[in-house]
Amino acid sequence: MKTGRFFRLLGICLSLMALASVAVGCGSSATPTEAPPPAASEPAASAAPAAPAAAQPAAPAPAGQEAMTGAEPTQAPDQSQAPVPAAAAQQEGSVTAEPTAVPEPADSVRVPEGILTVSEFDYDTESWLPWEGVTQRFYWERVMETLLLLDPVTWEFKPGLAEEWSLSEDGRTVTYNLKEGVPFHGGYGEFTASDAAYSLDQWLYNEESTHPSVAAQLQAEPQVRALDTYTVQVEYTKNPFLTAFMDLSSGNNGTGMMSRAFVKEVGLDGARREAIGTGPYEFVEHKLGESMEVEATEGRHWRIVPQWKTTKFRITPEASTRLAQVLSGEVDIALLPGSFKRQAEAANVRTILNPGVAGVFIVPVVYIPGTTGIDAPDPNNPNADPVFREALSLAINRQELADVVFAGGAVPTGITDLSPISLGYDARWEEPDPYDLERAKQLLAESGKAGLTFEFQQRPLGGIPEGPQLAEAIAGMWEAAGLDVELKLNLQGSAHSAMRRARELEGKIWLMRLGHLTDTTRRLISQYRCTAERTALFACNSELEALTPRIQASTNLEEKDELIREAYGILLDERTVIPVVQTASLYAIGPRVGSWSPRLGERFTTELESVGHAN
């Protein structure tokens, strides 16, 4: 789906205002409400290490329309006007292409029934503390809820436990107004700002916190405080953080809201093994290394009433066994590698291919000699030649890689780590370079690179077992273009890092993967910005060097979005990195399951409370 820049920004802002009044709208000049001193009983966020900044949302008013001003809440617009992201239009094999249904009214008469069994490859850290790991969201999200929700298909941010949220004009303060009257399971009282402040503070500052979004948050030195019973605020004291509400709060990246009273009663060790939350399911049982079980809450849940009474999770490491479980009927939903797509369909198993899990791309490393600033590239480094990089890209048959190496479980791409909700995203980059072997040979001859010998390194690609086969296939394509490739497979990260520190990667080419981020500022800085103190991970680029300080300092969404788009335009148009494929998750679906819209771009099962019964 081709979406213009303005309409993509407008879509983000419409998402912000959906079902809620947003105090600071697109282009608003509202100022933050002055916060009273935090209550003594609230957690005080300790000082965090300093580092770069991160990002905000606020878009211009449509042409001919005055920008919104003042601090008055704005009426939520009709959601049908918001554009659907490209990824949503491209979802393959969906059980349903409809967005998540609007939460059921309180007078719903639905009665959950039956047992839904889900098979996953592992449970990550097997902890119910949301900050200890990433992939365990697939189970704690059933029991605990986040402040904001992310629509699984349209990727719009919607109210969760926070009915309203606002961002100060300087991009440093996010204020959440919480929904009143939401009870915790087990009689632990009402969810309040005290619980929200505790949960956010633990996510940010607990020494066991391992979520990758935390590092970016800490660079801005956040301070969390409860302002009153139903208002919690996060102030970024060092740098503005324009996308904080996304990375901190959404079901996509954020943390579950825990009962402070429950954790105080059982301690953190106890809260690792069982959970109390506000979600549509309640914790029942957790057998370490084996299984977990949750059950639909009694009565009417405030947001959604599941169709299934009980959901059971199994740990099954072998993908072939998980597929066999679906075939036998003992499992209803199983997560598989994308490469199992054809095998599953050959067995007449219904599947959902969920693309956009991670981008796999090639890095022709252009390190700069010396240790200060940006110097001229080494003339003997072929990777510094954009014509050579173009030839490398044109020699790759991406469709063949997706079809053969991944057996249909990946899609060719021209983009790296951006998704439709990322700042800087441009749908035109979804289309990769064409496969043109003859043109690649011509460019190599014209640039004097025909017959060139170089080293191609493959590090283990987390979650992508096809990495070695992919590297071998790409090397074969380059050799067909007349290059001599010295292939190094499964180069471990420690060895690779040592080579990087020793400046021994210059002139080499390597294969890597990155997951998607809402705001890629910190990656642009770490991978392409050179200073007197450090050398970039991939390449130094004078144009990017000028852009990154502006991106880091921006306090305006429209400006930051445009600057990041400009940066990625340089990277992709000059083929500083060469995208290859987007990997996908594959869900095998049993016959008892009806409609289901898993969240796009995830590598585990999500939105299980929306799974329907087959008719």
Given CA atoms 341, 344, 346, 352 in this order, what sign does their dihedral have?
negative
Q: What is the pLDDT of residue 119?
A: 94
Q: Domain containing 92 — which CATH number?
A: 3.90.76.10
- Do the beta carbons of residue 415 and residue 455 sit within 8 Å? no
Q: What is the pTM of this model?
A: 0.69
On whether both 558 and 441 belong to a single domain, the answer is: yes
Q: What is the pLDDT of residue 135?
A: 63
- Do the beta carbons of residue 516 and residue 422 sit within 8 Å? yes
User: Which of 210-224, 225-239, 427-441 comes out lowest in average pLDDT?
Assistant: 210-224
On whether both 428 and 548 belong to a single domain, the answer is: yes
Check pLDDT > 60 for residue 76.
no
Residue 609 domain-assigned (yes or no): no
- Do the beta carbons of residue 220 and residue 238 sit within 8 Å? yes
Check pLDDT > 90 for residue 289.
no
Measured CA distances, 530 to 47, 292, 536, 561, 590 (Å): 27, 47, 5, 22, 52
Instruction: Give residue-wise pLDDT tens across range 390-419.
Output: 999 999 999 999 999 988 888 899 988 888
Q: What is the pLDDT of residue 594?
A: 96
- Do the beta carbons of residue 571 and residue 536 sit within 8 Å? no
Cβ contacts of residue 591 below 8 Å, gap of 6+?
329, 350, 614
Residue 52 domain-assigned (yes or no): no
Check pLDDT > 70 for residue 149.
yes
On whether both 22 and 88 belong to a single domain, the answer is: yes
What element of type H or E holds 469? Answer: helix 467-480
Check pLDDT > 70 for residue 545.
yes
On whether both 87 and 154 belong to a single domain, the answer is: yes
Residue 476 domain-assigned (yes or no): yes
Q: How confident is the model at residue 501 (pLDDT cuts 50, 70, 90)?
A: low
Higher pLDDT, 243 or 95: 243
On whether both 36 and 141 belong to a single domain, the answer is: yes
Distance separating alpha carbons of residues 597 and 611, to the nearest angstrom: 8
Domain of 199?
5-42+79-104+122-289+296-305
On whether both 227 and 360 belong to a single domain, the answer is: no
Q: Is residue 7 packed enough to be buried (19+ CB in 10 Å), middle (13-18) or exposed (0-12)?
A: middle
Instruction: Give residue-wise pLDDT tens across range 564-607.
Output: 999 999 889 889 889 999 888 889 999 999 999 888 777 778 88
Distance separating alpha carbons of residues 406 and 336, to the nearest angstrom: 12
Please count the other Cβ atoms lying within 10 Å of the Cβ belonging to residue 409. Answer: 27
Q: Domain containing 568 — which CATH number?
A: 3.10.105.10
Provide the domain count of the chain: 2
On whether both 495 and 569 belong to a single domain, the answer is: yes
Distance separating alpha carbons of residues 358 and 122, to the nearest angstrom: 19
What size, in residues, is the chain? Answer: 615
Residue 34 domain-assigned (yes or no): yes
How many Cα neighbours within 13 Å face the side chain of 42? 26
- Look up residue 339 and give its DSSP letter: G
Q: What is the pLDDT of residue 179?
A: 97
Residue 111 domain-assigned (yes or no): no
Question: Nearest-CA neighbor of 571 among 538, 522, 531?
Answer: 538
What element of type H or E holds 556? Answer: none
